């Protein structure tokens, strides 16, 4: 086996990306404090051609060198919006006809592998990721249509937010486009 050269991968340009059909998924970052985590979410979002990343509260906005360090330019391809409060973002998503899924450990949460997004019922989907320490704010959880939980089997009770986003984005891609 031989590693492919970049030119052999036939990646699209930013302009082509902007014009392309997107997976109907918006990732909402609720008070994510690490700019490197924000950049990583942009990069994963680009890889799976999600509709956008919505940044809320203290979550930093591009352009920022620390975001660019991990996004590697994906902050230019993936559409993004900023909301002062995540609750405003959730209200907007509901108005748009999206199912809002907080990714959080909650009573009655749905294990991620058991969740099948219903593309016939909703215009799109949103996955809300929370702060690295405190998670998704309770008022956002209360406004969500459901909570999704990634099963874990070790001693820790959480994953890094950028890792969580990658897993969740992959799950949606696997169910909606693959």
Give the rounded percent of residues in the chain with a pLDDT score beyond 90: 97
What domains can be seen in the chain, in order of their start residue?
21-176 (3.40.1280.10)
The model's pTM is 0.97
Bridge partners, 99 (sequence order) = 125
Q: How does residue 105 score in pLDDT terms, banded at 50, 70 and 90? A: very high
Q: pLDDT tens digit string along 29-76? A: 999 999 999 999 999 999 999 999 999 999 999 999 999 999 999 999
């Amino acid at each position: 086996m031989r590693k492919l050269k970049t030119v052999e991968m036939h990646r699209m340009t930013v302009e082509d990306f902007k014009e392309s059909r997107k997976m109907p998924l918006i990732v909402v970052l609720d008070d994510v404090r690490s700019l490197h985590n924000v950049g990583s979410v942009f990069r994963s979002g680009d890889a799976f051609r999600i509709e956008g990343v919505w940044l809320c509260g203290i979550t930093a906005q591009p352009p920022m060198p620390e975001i660019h360090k991990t996004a590697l330019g994906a902050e230019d391809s993936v559409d993004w919006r900023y909301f002062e409060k995540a609750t405003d973002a959730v209200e907007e998503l509901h108005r748009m006809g999206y199912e809002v899924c907080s990714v959080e450990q909650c009573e009655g949460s749905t294990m991620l592998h058991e969740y099948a997004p219903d593309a016939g019922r909703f215009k799109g989907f949103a996955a809300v990721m929370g702060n690295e320490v405190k998670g998704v704010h309770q008022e956002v959880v209360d406004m969500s249509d459901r909570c999704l939980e990634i099963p874990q089997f070790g001693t820790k009770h959480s994953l890094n937010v950028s890792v969580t986003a990658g897993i969740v984005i992959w799950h949606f891609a696997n169910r909606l486009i693959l």
